[in-house]
Structures are given as structure tokens and as C-alpha cells.
């Protein structure tokens, strides 16, 4: 018997459209709670209306609550988890769970781009598909997954790419790791193993800065004047910054504040190639941490997890640069 813990956390998948105004909002009653689903008879659902949050309301503190409930569920004998979630921050919650729980059991997040009473609503179908994937033996050892629109993506690389399209979730560079059909669930790629850290807190302030042509030092005084625990920078290209940012960057590094760098590009990885002032090779020499394969919002969460796990400088560097 498969025992699947279902945690509803809100989002469009739990909302309805007002046909007069077109506004989409929660009605206080999750429409998924009373829907008929089709799944194997040997699957038992343990359903909890865990949170009712619009996606922008999600925080690391709520993610921590979800993580703790899943760990309790594992002790209770659950074999998989399905989480319904708003799509705006779904990838962040998915990655947080992936990096704090690992691959102990299948954890599947899903959502919807259309509310429950809109024409072409996708929520119920995605929900049922997520249950199928969470119940599938082949999902064991895959870590946290995102399942929408008949595609299976790893939490580590998936991102929301379109504001309204039902095919919004994509995995740049690598593509989905599996597909769902009417009768089968098939995985085509094997994931690289990575470290996970079971933290008990999510304390820390880590802002994100996006580099652009002409970025100087005007933003950095605000950052330097605040009490931050780390900084993530979406750099240009393969990992480069305008030279005017270097004095402020040096000041942060002198204060032993970890600075993590990713690319603002949609595809590819960061690496120290250019050796001019502000070039990636010089930034690496200064001590900037190049975080490969992650976007800025996930790199921020990974840094937050590492800091709350109490990693020393070398451990934190190794944790952030591993190719996951």
C-alpha cells in the first residue's frame, strides 16, 4: 500500500475566478478537497489543508514548516508526498525541500496556471498526475520533483518561464527528466547526487542584486549599511561585473560576508574566464563563490541553508559550488 501525504498550501490551484470581474482569489474553500480522482486502489491519500497562501506570501519559515511535516510523515510511514502550491514561488519551495530532505521519499510539487472554474483549468489534472508520480516506484531516489503539464522536472533546475502559459515550467539547458502519459511514467535522465542538510532554522538576510550595463556602486551603500548575512549577484554572461562595483564588493568580502555569483543568462553556467577588472577570473581570485546550475533565487536558498547548518568557510564553499 502506497501512503501519499498531500499538503495543500494554496495558490491558483486552490482559487476560483469571479466571472463578473475576472479577479482570481481564494473563496475560503479549497476546490481540490471535493474533487473525484482516479488512481490505483493500492494508494492511500492522507490529505491536509496545510496552508492557504497566495504564492507571493510563501517564506522560508513556511518552507521549514512544510519540511518538518514531511519528516514527521516519514516517521509515520508515508511513502510519498504531493504538495499543491502557487506557481510564483513553487520552484523555491521545491528546491528548499530538495536540499534539506534529499531523496528519502518522492516529493512532488504541482500547481495550476488557471483557477478551478476557468475554461481549460489545469489544476485537477496536474494534481492527479502528481499523485501518480509520487506513487511510482521509479520516482524513488529522484529527490523533489515538479510535475505539471505532463512533464517531470527536477527541483534543482526547473524555473517558471511564462507568466500565464500552462507550459510555464521549464528546465533550461537540460530539459525535463521524465514524461507522464496516459498509461506510463517514464524517466529519461539520472540525477547527480548532492548533499542535503537538515536545518532547524532559516535565520539570515540575503538580498539579490541583478547586474546590468552601467551598474555602479549606488546600490551597495544601502547593502553595506544594513545587517546582511550574505549576498547573491546575478552577474553578466559567464560571471562578470562592471569594474565600478569592485570597491564595494571588496569591502563585503573583507567583512567575511559570503558573496555568491550566478549568471543572469537563462542557459549555461558561470565560470571564471575573463581576467579584466570585474571579469570572472578576478572575481574568483577575490573569493566570490561561483554557484553553478542554479538561478539566483535558488542560490539564495542554498546559501541560507548552508549558513543555518553552521558550515565553516570551506564547507560552505564546497556546498555551494557542487554542480547541483
**Percent of the chain whose pLDDT exceeds 70:** 93
Architecture of domain 2-187: 3-Layer(aba) Sandwich (3.40)
Consult the annotation and say whether 164 binds a ligand: no
pLDDT given at position 47 = 94
For residue range 72-105, list pLDDT tens digits in order.
999 999 999 999 999 999 999 999 999 999 999 9
pLDDT in tens, 6-45: 999 998 888 776 656 666 666 666 777 766 676 677 899 9
| Domains of the chain, residue spans | 2-187, 208-321
Cell match 489534472: residue?
125
pLDDT of residue 73: 98
Q: What is the chain's mean pLDDT, rounded?
A: 91
For 212-234, what is each residue's pLDDT tens digit? 999 987 777 777 767 899 999 99
This prediction's pTM = 0.93
Per the annotation, the verdict on 26 as an active-site residue is no
* Coil/strand/helix, residue 285: helix
Residue 21 has a pLDDT of: 65
The predicted pLDDT at position 22 comes to: 61
Burial readout 209-242 (b: 16 or more C-beta within 10 A, e: otherwise): bebeeebeeeebeebeeeebebbbbbbbbbbbbb
Per-residue pLDDT at 160: 97
Residue range 45-51: mean pLDDT, rounded? 94
**Which residue among 9, 12, 93, 100 is the active-site one?**
12
Same fold, 2-187 and 208-321: yes
Q: Which of 9, 79, 84, 87 is catalytic?
A: 87
**Of all residues in the chain, what percent carry a pLDDT higher than 90?**
77
Confirm or deny that 88 is annotated as ligand binding. Answer: yes
Q: Is 135 annotated as a binding residue?
A: no
The correct answer on CATH 3.40.50.40 for the domain covering 208-321 is yes
As a whole number of angstroms, the distance between CA 25 and CA 285 comes to 49
Does residue 129 have an active-site annotation? Answer: no
What's the pLDDT tens digit per position in 171-195? Answer: 998 899 999 999 999 999 887 777 8
Averaged pLDDT, 131-149:
96
Amino acid at each position: 500500500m502506497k501512503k501519499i501525504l498531500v499538503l495543500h498550501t494554496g495558490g491558483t490551484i486552490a482559487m476560483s475566478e469571479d466571472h463578473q470581474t475576472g479577479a482570481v482569489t481564494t473563496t475560503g474553500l479549497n476546490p481540490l478537497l471535493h474533487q473525484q480522482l482516479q488512481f490505483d486502489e493500492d494508494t492511500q491519500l492522507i490529505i491536509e489543508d496545510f496552508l492557504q497562501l497566495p504564492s507571493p506570501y510563501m517564506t522560508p519559515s513556511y518552507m521549514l514548516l512544510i519540511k518538518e511535516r514531511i519528516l514527521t510523515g516519514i516517521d509515520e510511514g508515508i511513502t510519498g508526498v504531493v504538495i499543491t502550491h502557487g506557481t510564483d514561488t513553487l520552484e523555491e519551495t521545491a528546491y528548499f525541500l530538495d536540499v534539506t530532505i534529499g531523496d528519502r521519499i518522492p516529493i512532488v510539487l504541482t500547481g495550476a496556471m488557471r483557477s478551478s472554474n476557468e475554461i481549460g483549468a489545469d489544476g485537477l489534472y496536474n494534481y492527479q498526475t502528481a499523485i501518480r508520480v509520487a506513487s511510482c516506484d521509479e520516482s524513488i531516489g529522484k529527490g523533489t520533483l515538479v510535475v505539471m503539464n505532463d512533464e517531470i522536472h527536477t527541483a534543482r533546475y526547473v524555473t517558471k518561464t511564462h507568466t500565464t502559459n500552462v507550459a510555464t515550467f521549464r528546465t533550461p539547458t537540460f530539459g525535463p527528466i521524465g514524461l507522464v502519459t496516459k498509461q506510463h511514467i517514464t524517466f529519461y535522465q539520472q540525477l547527480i547526487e548532492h548533499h542535503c542538510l537538515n536545518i532547524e532554522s532559516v535565520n539570515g538576510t540575503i538580498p539579490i542584486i541583478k547586474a546590468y550595463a552601467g551598474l555602479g556602486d549606488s546600490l551597495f551603500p544601502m547593502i553595506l549599511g544594513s545587517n546582511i548575512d550574505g549576498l547573491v549577484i546575478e552577474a553578466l554572461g559567464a560571471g562578470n561585473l562592471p569594474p565600478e562595483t569592485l570597491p564595494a564588493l571588496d569591502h563585503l568580502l573583507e567583512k567575511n560576508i559570503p558573496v555568491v555569483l550566478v549568471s543572469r543568462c537563462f542557459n549555461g553556467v558561470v565560470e571564471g574566464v575573463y581576467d579584466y577588472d570585474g571579469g570572472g577570473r578576478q572575481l574568483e581570485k577575490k573569493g566570490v563563490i561561483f554557484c553553478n546550475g542554479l538561478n539566483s533565487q535558488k542560490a539564495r536558498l542554498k546559501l541560507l541553508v548552508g549558513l543555518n547548518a553552521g558550515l565553516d568557510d570551506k564547507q560552505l564553499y564546497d556546498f555551494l559550488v557542487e554542480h547541483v
